[in-house]
Structure 1
């Protein structure tokens, strides 16, 4: 977190002279060898998936888990496809459909940027449904466990957004504002860091407490409901500080596109939380691992 310390220190010492993003010395490319480039955004996805997988294995090691190790290993593969395909198609459909449909080949150029978290959620949900159907598992309980791992990806993804100098905030005069040159010379909120803190650290802490310190994991739908409400509230709030995509700042109903997409999440999350206790009787033990000696 050296860059964050640099940001705070420079802002406090320069007074009204806001820190410029390029002064941090950050670059979107983490490693370049010849024509090969490894970007921080790619590393963020890899880190989120690998650490999320590791944490999922810890979760399912507890009594009463909805799946075994063999299911978790398969799920990582399906969920990765869901993240990439769902996230990309979600961005295309929700944010810039006219632009991408005018040049369909650009849809597959994911290295140019453009992923939607809401689309990724849909993609992962479909992956869970498929895996649960295939193995005759409780799909909603699997959602609960997977929801606890998602903040890792959100945290690293938002940090990567900051390193890339993208998805900056609205103009402001707060002392910690930054000048993102690509957005002009006005100081702006470093909203990427707000999101990393809310969607990553705070949401993870809430889900950690609910999983390890309460019986929420035995009430199907409660943890995923908490995730949906937690993320929805965080994203809705940050949209007041984050610069929305051009043309999507204020839709006909007064909300930005980012806020609009959180509304179904909030409604669905609240319903899942409210009805979770009634599903507790449906909890069944996971099928045993095959006998290796057989």
Structure 2
């Protein structure tokens, strides 16, 4: 049925002035951080933590997510580029064939996860003066919402596309010059992350699970990376030759497995564990 098809051809740029362009993808990051800051303010007030410490948290989170996601993309998916053009990895510009503002295009969620954990360890020691799992249990709540925004940004960019559906159902990515429907894998993830956000909000505000150190953090990891693992079956490989990397699994799935196990460990470990 033609009603099951969606011709998808949005311009990735909202507007452009010279070499600077405001992209939907960048705007989704702004939304992610804005809503994240709002939710964390509510959590800090609930925990009777000084709001002054929220400014430092915002800086730690933004810097670590962007750097971790950027480095993670090139380490996991394009290490050759990291060696050839290290400055273009860190800076939101490209220098050849001409200087151009590009923003941070190419971000890996696995790298962001590693970056934010390291940053929260430092933040908990230097600013919050609480165990690192205390802040991780609370920070993952808005993180799920932020992940939903980011994946919707990928959809607006017509990137990280799904495999052909071989049916009438799906999104036709006209910007890629295609005339056949694919799975909207970005939308699958975005909606799933919204559901995870709802679950985490319920667990934090309506249950006593936050009293068990590491439980909400573990729940977030177990749910989010499980979603990522299964949605990968509907995605095109992001790196040529990595579709059947290990045991028929692609890069994203292989990287997700240890993070799922980490999540399960923190959910079901002994309450007395340090």
TM-score (norm 1): 0.83
Spell out, residue by residue over 1:127-182, the C-alpha distance to the aligned partner (whole angstroms, 9 max, x if none): 11111111322211100000111022111111111111111101113443122242
Spell out, residue by residue over 1:217-267, the C-alpha distance to the aligned partner (whole angstroms, 9 max, x if none): 111100000000010111011001111212211103321101011111111
Q: Which segment drifts farther, 171-180 or 122-131?
A: 171-180
The 3-state SS of whatever aligns with 1:167 is coil
- Matching residue within 79, 104, 119 for 1:97: 79
Distance in 2, Cα, partners of 1:68 & 1:175: 54
- Matching residue within 147, 154, 159 for 1:154: 147
Distance in 2, Cα, partners of 1:247 & 1:154: 26
The 5 A counterparts of 1:135-150 are: 135=127, 136-150=129-143
- The unaligned stretches of length 5 or more in structure 2 are 93-102
Distance in 2, Cα, partners of 1:143 & 1:276: 18
Residue 253 of structure 2 corresponds to which residue in structure 1? 259
Distance in 2, Cα, partners of 1:101 & 1:35: 26
Determine if contact 1:60/1:69 at 8 Å carries over to the other structure.
yes
Distance in 2, Cα, partners of 1:276 & 1:74: 32
Spell out, residue by residue over 1:166-214, the C-alpha distance to the aligned partner (whole angstroms, 9 max, x if none): 1110111344312224274432101111010012x11101101111111
The 5 A counterparts of 1:213-232 are: 213-232=206-225
* Correspondence 1:62 to 2:12: no
- The unaligned stretches of length 5 or more in structure 1 are 1-9, 283-294
- Matching residue within 222, 226, 232 for 1:239: 232
Determine if contact 1:232/1:262 at 8 Å carries over to the other structure.
yes
Distance in 2, Cα, partners of 1:227 & 1:174: 34
Deviation at 1:31, TM superposition (A): 2.4
Spell out, residue by residue over 1:40-71, the C-alpha distance to the aligned partner (whole angstroms, 9 max, x if none): 111111110111010011112224x6x43222
Residue 162 of structure 2 corresponds to which residue in structure 1? 169
- Matching residue within 114, 126, 130 for 1:122: 114
Q: Which segment drifts farther, 33-42 or 116-125?
A: 33-42
The 1:61–1:97 alpha-carbon spacing in structure 2 relative to 1, beyond 3 Å, is: same
Determine if contact 2:36/2:142 at 8 Å carries over to the other structure.
yes
Distance in 1, Cα, partners of 2:166 & 2:182: 8
Structure 1 residue runs of 4 or more that deviate by more than 4 Å after TM superposition: none
Structure with higher Rg: it is 1
Aligned length: 261
Residue 20 of structure 1 corresponds to which residue in structure 2? 7
Residue 192 of structure 1 corresponds to which residue in structure 2? 186
TM-score (norm 2): 0.88
Determine if contact 2:169/2:181 at 8 Å carries over to the other structure.
no
Determine if contact 2:67/2:90 at 8 Å carries over to the other structure.
no
Distance in 2, Cα, partners of 1:256 & 1:144: 29
Distance in 2, Cα, partners of 1:50 & 1:62: 19
The 1:33–1:98 alpha-carbon spacing in structure 2 relative to 1, beyond 3 Å, is: closer
Distance in 1, Cα, partners of 2:180 & 2:134: 47
